[in-house]
Amino acid sequence: MRAPIVERLLDLNRQFYQTFGAEFSATRLRLQPGVRRLVEQIPSEGDVLDLGCGNGELARQLARRGHSGQYSGLDFSPALLQAAQATSLPDNFRFFQADLAATGWDACLPLAVYPLGLAFALFHHLPSHALRLRVLHNIRQRLTSSGRLMLSVWQFLDSPRLRARLQPWESVGLCAGDVEPGDYLLDWRRGGVGLRYVHAFDEASLAALAEASGFSVVESFRSDGENGRLGLYQVWQSNSIEMA
């Protein structure tokens, strides 16, 4: 995908979360079942890097569980970060504004490495395989040599209701030839009409992304939404990084 198209799609999503951040946050007041399942595996004393932390609901859940490790939550949306910071949390919970699509996004992090990274509902909003690989390479550098990454991607194509909300690329001045296979444009209808870029992963393509970025898949399952199938979750183990 050409760089101007990547930037255009990133701007589309930035504009969406700037315009509908409060409305979106109102739909995310509870953790998805798949997230809750993985939260049970998080050691209370472990440091956590939460990428795309949104409105902070996951942080609040960890705090209620007595999490004592350092928690660093990153998101590019001021509206969602404002919601995250509206609740008083212990001092070991900190939030930072950072855009993973930008170089140097990790300069704000208070720790050099983390044993655990979280990236729920994140990678389907990053346009282009090349950008996803770059972001994952940076994330891997911020994990310990045996660190893990827990992530999820949206299985919107498995829902007839969501399929009906797919929009033609021409509605944003693009065509199918401008984007990559698996890329879609999905509308939003709460508090107004908006559009978001989304990429469709299946289990094989997500596992291939793990391998290409230096991870191994250690767990994979479906959860959430209609028939418990609208979220694909995986846990990745970082392969040892070769030292020069």
Task: For residue range 30-58, list pLDDT tens digits in order.
Answer: 789 999 999 999 999 999 999 999 899 99
pLDDT at residue 197 in the model: 97
Q: Is the pLDDT of residue 243 over 60?
A: no
What's this model's pTM, rounded to 2 decimal places? 0.92
Q: What letter represents residue 147's amino acid? A: G
Residue 192 is predicted with a pLDDT of 77
Confirm whether 51 is domain-assigned. Answer: yes
202 in a structural domain? no
> Is residue 36 situated within a structural domain?
yes
Domain enclosing residue 124, as ranges: 3-190+210-238
Listed residue (185, 127, 164) closest to 4, CA to CA:
127
- 20 band by pLDDT with thresholds 50, 70 and 90: confident
Average pLDDT score over residue span 100-129: 96
* DSSP secondary structure of 165-179: TEE-GGGGT--GGGS
Q: Give the confidence band of 244 by pLDDT, cuts at 50, 70, 90.
A: very low
Stretch 15-36: mean pLDDT: 77
CA atoms within 13 A on the CB side of 79: 13
pLDDT, tens digit (0-9, with 9 covering 90-100), for 68-99:
999 999 999 888 899 899 889 999 999 999 99
CA distance 206 to 118: 15
Q: Which of 230, 222, 223 is nearest to 162 (CA)?
A: 230
149 occurs within a structural domain: yes
Which band of pLDDT confidence, cut at 50, 70 and 90, is reported for residue 18? confident
User: CA 160 → CA 98, 157, 185, 227, distances in Å?
Assistant: 34, 7, 15, 12
In a domain, 90, yes or no: yes
Instruction: Please name which of 21, 78, 17, 67 lies closest in space to residue 44, comparing C-alpha atoms.
Output: 67
Residue 63 lies in a domain: yes
CATH for 134 = 3.40.50.150
Quick check: 207 pLDDT over 80? yes
pLDDT tens digits for range 153-198: 999 999 999 999 999 999 999 999 999 999 999 998 877 788 999 9
Number of domains into which the chain is organized:
1
Report how far apart the first and last C-alpha atoms of the chain are (Å, whole number): 31
In a domain? residue 201 = no
Residue 83: partners with Cβ closer than 8 Å, 6 or more residues away: 21, 22, 25, 54, 55, 56
Per the CB < 8 A criterion, the answer to whether 6 and 128 are in contact is yes
- Residues of the chain above pLDDT 70, percent: 94
